[in-house]
Amino acid sequence: MRLLLAPLFLALYASPALAQSGAVSVPLGDQAKWQVLQYSRIPPHKVQFTKAGLEMAVDRSAMPLVYPLPKPLAVKRIRVKGRVEGSLNIPAGRQGDEGYDDYVFRVGLVEPGNRTLGSIQRRLVADWVRKLYELAPPGSGISGIRFLNVGTDQIGRSRQHPLSDLIREEVVAAPRPDGRFDFEHVLAQPLQTIAVWLSSDGDDTKSRFTVKVEAIELLAQ
């Protein structure tokens, strides 16, 4: 996985409004509502937005897909349904280690905050990062991102990612033998969220597989 550090998230919102209550069903079939981004030296997935959901064909590839929420939401629970066809080339117990930091699916909750893109960073970041940042007024920023991962094993493992203090992640589910994953995760405390970040990674392990995400629902209680 190639982690997106602070610049990725800075363009999403200038400052969080009061979080809305209720639930948000992520529009997996509506490409117009997504930021489909690419890395400069890593091949992208083949992505399809359909009535059945979002499909990512991974071929030793990695890329981020970002859905900015219409309004901030204090997320307490998240429900996810989907399936994976194929698997990762990872030995048991090694997922997340250097050289094996690929997951068939990560869903991330982007939390607003005060971290911003400095003047030096603006000159150094890739074009797609600058274009994303230009969508927001000055002063936008984040606190970090919370990833919930579908792993091969090690369910319950959580960590601050070694490559970024912005990123925390937890392995919350694993595919069943038929490839399906279907989970509901309850956060210890509501997390103010301004965007959803999806990732399926095969670049570290040179893996090929397809992920079909059928439903993602964010709930405030």
Give residue-wise pLDDT tens across range 199-220: 999 999 999 999 999 999 999 9
User: Is residue 52 one of the residues assigned to a domain?
Assistant: no
Domain membership of residue 69 (yes or no) is: yes
- Of the listed ranges 4-8, 100-104, 216-220, the one predicted with least confidence: 4-8
158 domain-assigned: yes
Least confident of 4-13, 175-184, 206-215: 4-13
* Residue 12 domain boundaries: 6-26+63-83+90-178+189-200
- Residue 203: phi and psi, rounded to 5, are -75, -40
pLDDT digits (tens, 9 = 90+) for 110-146: 888 776 666 666 666 555 444 444 434 356 567 778 9
pLDDT 10s digits, 24-77: 999 999 999 998 988 788 899 999 999 999 999 999 999 989 898 888 899 999
Residue 205 lies in a domain: no
pLDDT at residue 198 is higher than 50: yes
End-to-end Cα distance, the chain: 31
Task: Judge whether residue 16 has pLDDT over 50.
Answer: no
Per-residue model confidence (pLDDT) at position 51:
94
Model confidence band, residue 93 (pLDDT cutoffs 50, 70, 90):
confident
Structure tokens at 123: 């000159």
213: in domain: no
Counted domains in the chain: 1
Judge whether 217 lies within some domain: no
24-33 long-range Cβ contacts below 8 angstroms, 24+ apart: 24/69, 24/70, 24/73, 24/217, 24/218, 25/215, 25/216, 25/217, 26/67, 26/196, 26/215, 26/216, 26/217, 26/218, 27/67, 28/53, 28/54, 28/213, 28/214, 28/215, 28/216, 29/53, 29/54, 33/67
What is the model's pLDDT at position 19? Answer: 47
pTM: 0.84
